[in-house]
Amino acid sequence: MKLAGFFENNSELIVNKALELGFSACGISEANHLSGDAAFMEEWLSNGYQGDMSYLDRNKEKRYNPQLLVENAWSVVSVLYNYFPEEQMQTENNYKISKYAYGTDYHIVIKEKLQELFRFTKDLFPDLTGRVFTDSAPVLDRAWAQKSGLGFIGKNTCLIHPRKGSFHFIGHLIISIPLSINSIPVTDYCGTCRRCLDACPTGALVAPHKLDARKCISYLTIENKEAFSQHFEFNDWIFGCDICQDVCPWNRFSEPHSEPRFRLSDEIKNMRKTDWESITEESFNRIFKNSALKRTKYSGLKRNIEAAGKSPVKADEKTSI
């Protein structure tokens, strides 16, 4: 009982420390094999929905089994970090980028905070081994966040916290200590709602909870490195897309983040279509030096701007690539 109390008390300390660091939620789950999620992903991959994201086919067993990522893994500490902005980009005479890319690249911010949480945990358990994960290794982020009681997977495939919405980054510590499990499964509250499916201009949500990345604006403008083989309804999006989250009723609970590094810079805020269209590679490298937009590179951004500036195809003309 004393040992159980020790782990329970320290688990609470870890959760409280995560909240102190600015994470909006923290949950703990047991580091076991994700058999159900593995079956779902294998079917998804077999349908070719990953497009050119070949890395999703590699190290698949590591995605399903945390023991292959961290030796003697016992616990997964999952966290959410809010990125919903207080001020959004103007849409009139402007192109659009996903809210997550308004400020500093989230990998930099979240990794820094997770490393601090790991150091805190290491002080509690000096013999602990483990790793920090923030969209940087073969980890099923949403599956672990769901298992840790931080939300449910919506029909738009996003993790939705029933009191905080879906505009959150996800991160994890996978560690060798058997912490007290504090997660309570969250019910899927999507019900009969299909706003996300109906709002997607390219039909990427081919069924509830099922995304064909090859049609997704986020995939097309970021992960896809090739020229577009057809016209899509980009609706002025040139990096990522928030449509399926913007229309989600659960995001009425979204509150502005308090992370200064995620704020929209004055330079980006003041840009309009002509500024985006005339941007030079030198300006791109300067403005987006520490931004997630660097992922698409200058050539990719110019390609996206050109595609977004074209007239969209009609709904009955949509085809898959």
Q: Which residues are catalytic?
A: 135
Phi, psi of 214 (to 5 degrees): -65, -20
Q: Cα–Cα distance between 189 and 288 in angstroms, integer? A: 37
CA dihedral 134, 12, 20, 149 (to 10 degrees): 50
Report how far apart, in Å, the C-alpha atoms of 151 and of each of 106, 137, 165, 190 are: 20, 22, 9, 12
**Rounded CA gap, 216 and 230, in Å?**
13
**Cβ 33 vs Cβ 204: under 8 Å:** no
Residue type for position 111: K
Sort strands 96-97 and 130-133 into parallel, antiparallel or unpaired. unpaired
Compute the distance between CA of residue 78 and CA of residue 102 in angstroms, rounded to an integer.
24
Cα–chain-centroid distance for residue 46?
A: 23
Contacts of residue 205, defined as CB under 8 A and 6 or more positions apart, other chains included, come to 155, 156, 157, 196, 197, 211, 212, 244
Asked if residues 70 and 175 have their Cβ atoms less than 8 Å apart, the reply is yes
Please state, as a whole number, how many other Cβ atoms lie within 10 Å of the Cβ of residue 259: 19
Q: How far apart are CA 83 and CA 157, in angstroms?
A: 18
